[in-house]
Amino acid sequence: MKITFVTIFPGLVEDFFKEGLLSKARRTNKIEIQTINPREFTTDKHETIDDFPYGGGAAGTVMKVEPLVAAIRKATAPKGGLRPYKKSLAASRVRGQAKSCLVILLGPSKKVFNQTMAKKLTQYKHLVFVCGRYEGMDARVEKYVDTKISLGEFVVMGGEVAGLTMTEAIVRLLPGVIGNEVSLKEESYGSMFKLEYPHYTRPEVFEGKRVPKVLLSGNHQKIAAWRKKMSK
């Protein structure tokens, strides 16, 4: 899977993939990470990416449409062609094969990211996350994306953190990324349980608090029943 971030802070994204399983997934070519900075497509010496909004009244500036659309076109047209206006590349697929590309605008939306969505997004060969900053983006950018997704009903300073969170949720579901793939079914929001059962490890007793006896019994049927009961 290829994952592209359209961001004015490429270093923030690159650092995220230097540790842990995401770093390993990148080294073993299970994922390819690309960053595209919209500043590359500005035309002034200051590489201006934002401007004051029409109509006034806003507390800050708005990201300009031209460099953002140019960055999206670069992300979705590896041979230098232009992305067709308002035409979804997600529809470009062959039955039985992975879907082609999905361009995701990160921002306030009725479509809120969850585990079910993470599973669906693993079907794509290429995900493009368009990350906003400042007061937001020129609304015309929405004509050049496939969908708009929110991480939740709260405000952060940019789309990068949201995109990276979604990426981790998606990538860990790809074959071979997690060592024990059975755990994916048993964990919270997996296919077996809504919320995962509690976990314990050594020591058996900590400040008077003991590990449940059933987990020490060696009876796998009873342990499985307890775990199912404790899952919510």
CA angle 66, 68, 71 (to 5 degrees): 110
Is 132 labelled a binding residue? yes
Amino acid letter for position 126: H
Residue among 128, 162, 144 nearest 4 (CA): 128
Is 155 labelled a binding residue? yes
What CA–CA distance (Å, rounded) separates 67 from 50?
Answer: 10
Amino acid letter for position 230: M
Is 62 labelled a binding residue? no
> Could you tell me which residues are beta bridge partners of residue 50?
63
What CA–CA distance (Å, rounded) separates 155 from 159?
Answer: 10
Q: What is the 3-state secondary structure (H, E, C) of 163-219?
A: HHHHHHHHHCCCCCCCCCCHHHHHCCCCCCCCCCCCCCCCCCEECCEECCHHHHCCC
Compute, in degrees rounded to 10, the torsion defined by CA atoms 43, 147, 127, 179: 140
Whether the bond into 203 is cis, omega within 30 of 0: yes
Is 153 labelled a binding residue? yes
Give 15's contacts (C-beta < 8 A, 6+ positions apart): none
Q: Give the annotated binding-site residues for S-adenosyl-L-methionine.
A: 132, 151-156
Q: Give the annotated binding-site residues.
A: 132, 151-156
